Structure 1
Amino acid sequence: MKHIFQKGKSPSNPTLLLLHGTGGTEQDLLPLAELIDADANILSVRGNVSENGMPRFFRRLAEGVFDEEDLIFRTKELNEFLDEASEKYEFDRNNVVAVGYSNGANIAASLLFHYQDALKGAILHHPMVPRRGVDLPDLTGKDVFIAAGTNDPICPAQESEDLKSLLENASANVELHWENRGHQLTLEEVQAAGQWYKNK
């Protein structure tokens, strides 16, 4: 997978896995990493799927309708990439925190839904529920921050509430942060995520 890796202060520091939104690139979320943890390792990945020339992490059938088969395949692909990257770059595989926006937040949530040890935690900006009607692994000890917009036309408020409930039912610690905005990524929610991260 096309990516950028930047070494942090120490290999034992957390690694921030940056996952862009539809049409983004591995450059997009680098400024967020600075705000969240300037000492962390950074692994910023570009989605392997192209939708009308726009990079994404998995296919969709329509706006808000995921191609579940492709989602499962791409989630497995990303999890295996993390295994390989941790060996190549010598970062702690058990100390990876995903930071995702929109489509990137959805694949990060999918990692939590499918693989118990894929992530230590996650910051999800405007995510949706990746899959419904599936059993989640035991997520005890996993910390998740969800940032949502009350007027988000792409990601209805109920999606954020449902995702919080599903993760909490799997024993994750979840904080749901609301902004009175739409689907855009705001500085306020990034700062709130940074504050949450520092308190963990």
Structure 2
Amino acid sequence: MAETAGFHVVRSGAAADGRAPLVLLHGSGGSERSLTGFGQRVAGGRACLFVRGRVPWEGGHAFFRRNPDRSLDHADLAARCDEFCDLLRRLAASEGRPPLLVGFSNGAVMAAAAILDAPALSSGAVLLRPLSPRPQEPFPSLDGYPVLLLGGASDARRHPSDTPILAERLRQAGARVTARVLPVGHDLDEAGEDARLARDWLAARD
């Protein structure tokens, strides 16, 4: 495990043919080990960089805090996003190109926040069970930024409209969006459609 910009990062594999590595961000209460299996299923020969959130949370870690009613703590998210963007800046320099982001739940919100704050620091993103990091604010121009959103139709932690609304706002900002709402709950379907769709989408990136 290496420490980069104050984050614990575990690397798995080496980049194939100079392709962008994956940066994987776990959900609330998780760790850098939470998405190991998913990363291996979807990487397709890319290096995987598993990042641990810096906020102690529910016996594990998170990338930003939530309020007691589970709504997003937007002030903490903004501050933590600055830290995460510093990590992405350093990873892009060390890897030779901006990475692709793969975020689940809390990690998907952080990935989405980083896209809006600094789209040039990543080359695309897979957002699994996402929420908008800026529900009341305009999005910047994303000018062709590629993103895949995967929601769950029976997700107890999300409203059924969350994924479609975020997808439409990203499209209006100019992103190239693929979005699906799958017949699953909040948890990842690691051996099913989540993995298949993410793997196929990532394989087409470069």
Deviation at 1:10, TM superposition (A): 4.3
Q: Given residue 152 of structure 1, which amino acid in structure 2 is its aligned partner? A: D
Q: Which residue of 2 aligns with 1:148?
A: 151
Aligned identity (percent) is: 29
Q: How is 1:55-66 mapped onto 2 (pairs within 5 angstroms)?
A: 55-66=61-72
Change (3 A) 1:79 1:11: farther
Q: Deviations over 1:100-159 (max 9, x none)?
A: 111111100111122131221111110111112223222112111111111111011111
Following superposition, the deviation at residue 22 of structure 1 comes to 1.0
Moved over 6 A (4+): none
Render the CA deviation track for 1:34-91: whole Å, top value 9, x for unaligned: 222232122110000112433000011035411111100111100101222344xx20
Note if 1:116 corresponds to 2:116.
no
List gaps (5 residues or longer) in structure 2.
1-6
Distance 2:8 2:108 in 1: 18
2:75 is equivalent to residue 39 of structure 1: no
Task: Give the equivalent residue in structure 2 for 1:188.
Answer: 193
**TM-score normalised per structure 1:** 0.91
* Residue segments in structure 1 that go unaligned for 5+ positions in a row: none
Output the CA distance in 1 between the equivalents of 2:193 and 2:57: 30
8 Å CA contact retained: 2:15, 2:21: no
Distance 1:93 1:30 in 2: 22
SS of aligned partner of 2:121: coil
Report the Cα distance in structure 1 between the residues aligned to 2:40 and 2:58, rounded to whole angstroms.
31
Does residue 197 of structure 1 match 2:202? yes
One-letter amino acid matched to 1:47: G
8 Å CA contact 1:141, 1:171 repeated in 2: yes
Matched, 1:92 2:93: no
- SS of equivalent to 1:75: helix
Quote the RMSD (CA, aligned, Å): 1.7
TM-score, normalization by structure 2: 0.88
Shift of 1:15: 1.2
Q: CA deviation at 1:173?
A: 0.9
CA distance in 2, matches of 1:111, 1:150: 25
* Counterpart for residue 139 of structure 1: 142
Q: 2:22·2:46 contact (CA, 8 Å) conserved in 1?
A: yes
**Match of residue 30 from structure 2:** 24
Do the aligned residues in 1 keep the contact of 2:112 with 2:132 (CA within 8 Å)? Answer: yes
**Number of residue pairs aligned between Structure 1 and Structure 2:** 197
Q: Is the 8 A contact 2:63 2:106 kept in 1?
A: yes
> How far did residue 194 of structure 1 move?
1.0
